[in-house]
């Protein structure tokens, strides 16, 4: 019996070790991809990357702002540029010449992940519409000389189809000719 018991304990220990390795391998985070960030800036335009806490999402989120180097105390209109499904907040500034339109406006490019910018039905913590409509404008208006009236805000989405189930809070403009890829 002692030999059997020792063999059984050895098998249990081996299985426990294998289970532990499988757990660690399964829950090990994937290596983060290398981010190449080469924004295309225009003369007289400044770039600022911001990280802030989103109440709607219960986590830190990032956005990029392109703005005139000198606003001379005036409030600027805000254009929110939303990236496509597999993009990031860097896409507009890295892959287009959109910076040339920041000479008289704030161009705000938020991180949207794979959200389609809507509140998720099955994941209550993913309140992306609330983040875009409430948290982001509040942070932008706190940090930058942004206009706060409805006429001083617009949203542009690339690709346009990503906002097929859009929010009801914003005026949406299809202004894709801004892109020069």
> Residue 3 above 80 pLDDT?
no
Write the CB contacts of 146 (distance below 8 Å, at least 6 apart in sequence): 75, 76, 78, 106, 137, 140, 152
CATH number at residue 137: 3.40.50.1820
> Picking from 82-86, 113-117, 155-159, 160-164, which range would have the lowest pLDDT averaged per residue?
160-164
pLDDT at residue 12, as a whole number: 57
| Residue-level length of the chain | 181
Which residues are registered as beta bridge partners of 60? 53
pLDDT at residue 145, as a whole number: 95
**71: how many CB neighbours lie within 10 A of its CB?**
15
Q: Look at residue 76 and tell me if it is in a domain.
A: yes
Q: Look at residue 55 and tell me if it is in a domain.
A: yes
Label residue 14 by pLDDT band (50, 70, 90).
Answer: low
Handedness of CA 40, 138, 133, 86 (dihedral sign): positive
Contact in structure between 98 and 81 (CB atoms under 8 Å):
yes
> Residue 131 above 70 pLDDT?
yes
pLDDT at residue 36, as a whole number: 82
Q: Look at residue 11 and tell me if it is in a domain.
A: no
Q: Look at residue 77 and tell me if it is in a domain.
A: yes
pLDDT at residue 160, as a whole number: 47
Domain that holds residue 95: 45-178
DSSP state of 76: B
Write the CB contacts of 80 (distance below 8 Å, at least 6 apart in sequence): 108, 109, 110, 132, 136, 153, 154, 155, 156, 170
Task: Name the 3-class secondary structure at 2.
Answer: helix
Q: Look at residue 163 and tell me if it is in a domain.
A: yes
Which residues are registered as beta bridge partners of 76? 146
Q: Look at residue 24 and tell me if it is in a domain.
A: no
Distances (CA, A) of 55 to 50, 64, 96: 16, 19, 31
Label residue 161 by pLDDT band (50, 70, 90).
Answer: very low
Q: How many structural domains does the chain have?
A: 1
Q: Look at residue 40 and tell me if it is in a domain.
A: no
**161: how many CB neighbours lie within 10 A of its CB?**
10
Q: Look at residue 128 and tell me if it is in a domain.
A: yes
């Amino acid at each position: 019996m002692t030999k059997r018991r020792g063999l059984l304990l050895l098998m249990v220990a081996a299985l426990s070790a294998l289970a532990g390795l499988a757990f660690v391998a399964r829950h090990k985070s994937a290596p983060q991809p290398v981010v190449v960030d080469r924004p295309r800036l225009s003369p007289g335009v400044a770039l600022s990357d911001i990280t802030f806490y989103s109440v709607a999402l219960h986590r830190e989120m990032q956005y990029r702002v392109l703005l005139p180097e000198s606003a001379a105390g005036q409030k600027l209109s805000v254009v929110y540029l939303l990236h496509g499904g597999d993009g990031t907040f860097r896409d507009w500034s890295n892959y287009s010449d959109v910076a040339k339109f920041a000479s008289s406006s704030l161009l705000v490019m938020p991180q949207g992940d794979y959200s389609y910018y809507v509140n998720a039905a099955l994941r209550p913590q993913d309140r992306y519409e609330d983040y875009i409509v409430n948290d982001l404008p509040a942070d932008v208006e706190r940090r930058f000389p942004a206009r706060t009236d409805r006429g001083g805000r617009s949203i542009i989405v690339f690709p346009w189809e990503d906002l097929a189930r859009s929010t009801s809070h914003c005026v949406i403009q299809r202004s894709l000719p801004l892109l020069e890829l």
